[in-house]
């Protein structure tokens, strides 16, 4: 059950990040911080399908996180949850078509190796 919940936690968090980023790129950069402009932006964000799907995945992530914390050690859950950095980077590359530098790939590799190290019995 723990492996399944970690997978749900990581995949739903990465999906949330990718979907919300895609939505915000479509909506555009927030440059006007006056209350009326912020309200208009919030209305556009809350009406955007990708953003709402991302919020749904964020909710799923949080539920899986709470379930894991109900029985697993925090010192295991947090490092395992760091796999989201790996999955989100792949999501950025393949779904958002971002260019990922060699330095970032090296960092992602270090995160992956760190999670593997912490997960060893």
pLDDT digits 0-9 by tens, 29-70: 999 999 999 999 999 999 999 999 999 999 999 999 999 999
Q: Which of 66, 57, 46 is nearest to 88 (CA)?
A: 57
Segment 62-120, tens digit of pLDDT:
999 999 999 999 988 998 899 999 999 999 999 999 999 999 999 999 999 998 888 77
Supply the mean pLDDT for the chain. Answer: 94
Which of 38, 45, 43 is CA-nearest to residue 21? 45
Domain interval for residue 91: 2-119
Quote the number of domains for the chain.
1
Question: Is pLDDT at 121 greater than 80 in this prediction?
Answer: no
Phi, psi of 23 (to 5 degrees): -65, -45
Structure tokens at 109: 């590799």
Q: Determine contact, residues 77/13, Cβ cutoff 8 Å.
A: no
Report yes or no: 48 and 23 within 8 Å, Cβ to Cβ: yes
């Amino acid at each position: 059950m723990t492996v399944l919940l970690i997978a749900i936690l990581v995949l739903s968090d990465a999906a949330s990040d990718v979907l919300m980023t895609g939505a915000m790129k479509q909506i555009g950069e927030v440059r006007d911080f006056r209350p009326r402009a912020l309200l208009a932006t919030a209305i556009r964000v809350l009406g955007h399908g990708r953003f709402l799907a991302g919020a749904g995945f964020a909710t799923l992530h949080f539920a899986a996180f709470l379930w894991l914390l109900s029985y697993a050690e925090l010192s295991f859950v947090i490092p395992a949850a760091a796999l989201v950095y790996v999955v989100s980077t792949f999501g950025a590359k393949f779904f958002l078509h971002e260019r990922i530098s060699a330095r970032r790939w090296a960092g992602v590799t270090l995160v992956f190796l760190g999670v593997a190290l912490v997960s060893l019995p």
